[in-house]
Structure 1
Amino acid sequence: MELPTNTSVSYLNGTLYTYPELIFFSVGFSILIVLAIGGNSLVLVAVVRTKKLQNVTNVFVVNLSVADTLSSFGFLWSVPGMASTTPGYPLESDGPCVAAGGLLLIAVGCSVSTLGNIALNRCILITRPKETYQWLYTPKKIALMVLVSWLIPFCAIVVPPLCGVGDLGFDPESRTCNDVDPHPRAASYDKVQFACIFPVPLLVVIVSYILIWRHVKRHFRNLRNNTINLQSTTKPSESGSTSKPDLSNNALSISHKNLVESSPRHISGSSDHLSRMRNDQLAITKNLFVVVLAFLVCFSPFALMIITKSSRYYLYGALILFFNGCINPLIYAAKHPHFRPVLRSMVRCRCSA
Structure 2
Amino acid sequence: MDAHNATFYPREATILAAACACIFSVVGVVGNLITTVALLMHPKLRGHVTTMFVLSLCVSDLLFCSINLPLTANRFIRQQWGLGEKLCQMFAFVFYGNEAVSLLSMVAITINRYTLIAYYDMYTQIYTSTKIWIQLLLIWVVSFGLMVPPLLGVWGQLGFDPKTFSCTILPKNSKSPKKYLFVFGFALPCLVIIVSYSCIYWRVRESKRKLEGRRCVCGKLSGQTAKEKEEDSRLTTLMLTIFLCFLACFLPLMIMNVADDGITYPWLHIIASILAWASSVINPLIYAATNRQYRAAYGNLLKFCKNNPVARRTTWGSRTVGQSSNSPQYGEKEKRNHHKEPARL
Q: What TM-score do you get using the length of structure 1 for normalisation?
A: 0.73
**Alignment correspondent of 2:68:** 74
**Secondary structure of residue in 2 paired with 1:339:** helix
The 8 Å contact of residues 123 and 211 in structure 1, kept in 2 or not, is answered as yes
Q: Is the Cα contact below 8 Å between 1:40 and 1:329 reproduced in 2? A: yes
Q: Which has the higher contact order (CA 8 A, sep 6+)?
A: 2
Counterpart contact for 2:253–2:273, Cα < 8 Å: yes
Higher alpha-carbon Rg: 1
Partner of 1:301: 252
Q: Deviations over 1:227-261 (max 9, x none)?
A: 233457xxxxxxxxxxxxxxxxxxxxxxxxxxxxx
Deviates more, 1:163-172 or 1:97-106: 163-172
Give the Cα–Cα distance (whole angstroms) in 2 for the partners of residues 202 and 211 of structure 1: 14
Query: Aligned with 1:210: secondary structure?
Result: helix
Query: Which residue of 40, 57, 60 corresponds with 1:48?
Result: 40
Counterpart in the other structure of 1:154? 144
Separation in 2, partners of 1:120, 1:285: 18
Matched, 1:96 2:51: no
Deviation per CA, 1:125-154: give whole Å up to 9, x if none: 0112x2311111111111111112122222
Name the counterpart of 1:314.
Answer: 269
Q: Deviations over 1:68-108 (max 9, x none)?
A: 112222232222222115xx5223x3322221211010010
* Displacement after TM superposition at 1:193 (Å): 1.5
The answer for the alignment partner of 2:19 in structure 1 is 27
Percent identity between matched residues is 27
TM-superposed CA distance for 1:174, in Å, is: 2.4
Post-superposition offset of 1:42:
0.8
Structure 1: state its 5+ residue gaps.
5-12, 233-278
RMSD: 3.0
Distance 1:203 1:115 in 2: 12
Structure 2, unaligned runs of 5 or more = 221-230, 307-311, 317-345
Tell me the residue number matched to 1:335.
Answer: 290
Q: 2:217 aligns with which of 229, 240, 245?
A: 229
* 1:322 CA drift (Å): 0.8
After the TM superposition, which segments of 4 or more aligned residues of structure 1 sit over 3 Å from their partners?
1-4, 183-187, 228-232, 282-293, 331-334, 344-353
Deviations 1:296-337 (A, max 9, x none): 221121122123125333232110111111112233565211
Q: Which residue matches 1:198?
A: 186
What is residue 131 of structure 1 aligned with on the other side? 121
| Aligned residues of 2:117 and 2:200 also touching (Cα < 8 A) | yes
The count of aligned residue pairs is 291
Is 1:109 the counterpart of 2:103? The answer is: no
2:51 to 42, 58, 67: 58
Q: After TM superposition, give the deviation of residue 49 of structure 1 in Å.
A: 1.0
Secondary structure of the residue that 1:168 maps to in structure 2? strand
